[in-house]
Amino acid sequence: MTTMRFAWFAGLVALLMAGVLSPTPSRAAMDGRQQASLNEGWRFQKGDTADAPVVAFDPKDWLKVTLPHTFNGADGADGGGYYRGPGWYRREFFTADGAAPGRYFLQFDGAALVADVYLNGQRVGRHEGGYAAFRFDVTARVRPGRNVVAVRVDNSASPHIAPLGGDFTVFGGLYRGVSLIRTPLLHVDALDHGGPGVYATTVSMTPERATVRVTTRVRNDAPAARRTRVTTRILDAEGGLVAQASSVKPLAAGATTPVEQTLTIDKARAWNGRKDPYLYAVAATVAGVEGGETDAVRVPLGLRTTRIDPDKGFFLNGEHLAVHGVNLHLDRPGVGLAVSDDDVAEDFRLMEAMGANGLRLVHFQHPAKAYDLADRAGLVVWTEIPFNSKVGYEPEFLANLEQQLRELIRQTYNHPSVVVWGLGNEVYAADEATNQALAALHALAKAEDPSRPTVYAHCCASDTDRLTTHTDLIGYNRYYGW
């Protein structure tokens, strides 16, 4: 991304603490969509402060922090007796007059366990669940000049929010990045459960060609109906065009609609694990037929087939693959779950040196960097939601599990490394509530993504308990000698 391309946005958003905006483009940023990091210049206070969202409040006595940050970096290291409660984060940014009409979103890559977000004294949203990314439309609250963001993050245990148990620390804080996104009025949907709004599915694949279906969710926030052109390009690893499709669709004001397109790649190259983790890219653009700004989102595409045989094991692109790997928690001494991209990359280098070709990301959704690196390394990944150890007995708990599963699937759907959806881990109670939850989660996973199997990690009842009947696969956890 060139400096010139970001020049107008540099005038739009200025980071108060640094004095100058250093915008960080997202992996999906192109043309009319811009994304600026808000990771620097925060103030933090542990505990509750009633006036924290008030614009006139002065947090000068609060701790200066840079994201990612957790307030359990020290006391959460031993897994017990750590602080579970609220903390406040606050920072400012500036906007200029005269910006082109558009939509503005605050994106949080991870905040545990509950986040209440305020902009200029008004609450713009609440997110329950500590491990998925989420966005809020803040267009109505952004104003020229000084803007104040305040976030109350609370990692207190709640009977309505997973996880309810587990032998790991629930690190509190804004432990992943925060950014400000600006899109044109006609744009790829930015409020699709934190997902990219563009989803690519390999329909069929032979040595001669592959057929790919791409669904792009298009949103029209203009005051009038628009004739919308959606153009989808598939690019090879060098950026060369290998397939293209274009569609025109009328879209009413305030409407969101999915646009499906089917593309064919001749002489397609498979994503073939560690042997050859070849990646294409899908670039979807949205613009009005009459002209105007173009929004664009780019997502990874790996062409591969998977199959799991109960007698013969795992098959990748028709060939048997003996999977050997590790379970991964990303916490580090002193920083807990607030790891950097360099920390994540170091873990993947260690796995590569070990010869691992499989990875279970436990026991919750991991940062985007982990899935990117798994794609590039050719690892096959089991990723899961934090339905761990204990079940909740109120309907809000199941609703939260379903929310976290939907977020996980939408946000990681395009990663070829992801081969199974994990629905739970070692839930002790083999009762009706647990069985109903697993059945509901399996149904949701199949509705969201029929192409991948579901799995449950089982340990704590008989091997043939009813708990083992809901998912496509079962992992039997064994603790020999314990």
Residues 56 and 164 in one domain: yes
How many domains are there within the chain?
3
Are 344 and 395 within one domain?
A: yes
State the distance between the two ends of the chain, measured CA to CA, in whole angstroms.
53
- Residue at 311 is within a domain: no
Which of 131, 149, 183 corresponds to the end of one domain?
Answer: 183
Quick one: 174 and 44 in the same domain? yes
pLDDT (tens digit per residue) in 10-20: 333 333 233 22
| CATH number for the domain harbouring residue 278 | 2.60.40.10
Q: pLDDT at position 31, please?
A: 55
Which residue's structure tokens are 């609370």?
154
pLDDT for res 412: 99
- What CATH number should be reported for the domain holding residue 383? 3.20.20.80
Q: Are residues 206 and 276 in the same domain?
A: yes
What is the pLDDT of the chain when averaged over all its residues?
Answer: 93
Same domain, 104 and 25: yes
- Measured CA angle at 381 (ends 353, 388), to 5 deg: 115
Segment 314-337 shows an average pLDDT of: 96
Query: Taking a C-beta distance cutoff of 8 angstroms, is the pair 177, 66 a contact?
Result: no
Is 426 a catalytic site residue? Answer: yes
Residue range 263-281, pLDDT digits in tens: 999 999 999 999 999 999 9
pLDDT band for 100, please (50, 70, 90 cuts). Answer: confident
Q: Are strands 380-384 and 358-361 parallel, antiparallel or unpaired?
A: parallel
Q: What is the phi/psi pair of residue 443, to 5°?
A: -60, -40
- For residues 335 and 412, membership in a common domain is answered with yes
Residue at 189 is within a domain: no
Helix (H, G, I), strand (E, B) or coil at 90: strand
Taking the C-alpha atoms of residue 70 and residue 87, their distance in angstroms, rounded to an integer, is: 10
Q: Distance between CA 136 and CA 138 in Å, rounded?
A: 6
> Does the pLDDT at position 249 exceed 90?
yes
Cα 482 to the chain's mean position, in Å?
35
Do you know the residue count of the chain?
482
End of a domain among 152, 183, 214? 183
CB 339 within 8 A of CB 176: no
Are 29 and 79 contained in the same domain?
Answer: yes
Catalytic, out of 407, 426, 432, 448: 426
User: Would residue 312 count as lying in a domain?
Assistant: no
Residue 123 belongs to a domain: yes
Query: How do residues 395-426 score in pLDDT, each as one tens digit?
Result: 999 999 999 999 999 999 999 999 999 999 99
d(CA 13, CA 1): 17
Positive or negative: CA dihedral 440, 443, 449, 453: positive
Q: Is residue 482 part of a domain?
A: no
The verdict on 76 and 134 lying in the same domain is yes
Considering 183, 217, 251, which residue would you say is the last residue of a domain? 183
Same domain, 60 and 123: yes
Average pLDDT over residues 116-126: 99
Under DSSP, is residue 443 helix (H, G, I), strand (E, B) or coil? helix
Whether 232 is in a domain gets the answer yes
Q: How far is CA 438 from the centre of its chain?
A: 22
- Give yes or no: residues 44 and 172 share one domain: yes
Domain of residue 289, residue span? 198-301
Angle at 253 between CA 250 and CA 254, to 5 degrees: 120
Note whether residue 348 is domain-resident: yes
CATH of residue 155's domain is 2.60.120.260
- Among residues 86, 4, 11, 83, the alpha carbon closest in space to that of 53 is found at 86
Q: Tell me, yes or no, whether 428 lies in a domain.
A: yes
Instruction: Please tell me the predicted confidence (pLDDT) of residue 78.
Output: 80
What pTM does this model have?
Answer: 0.94
**72 and 32 part of one domain:** yes
Same domain as 363, residue 292:
no
- For 21, other C-beta atoms within 10 Å of its C-beta total 19
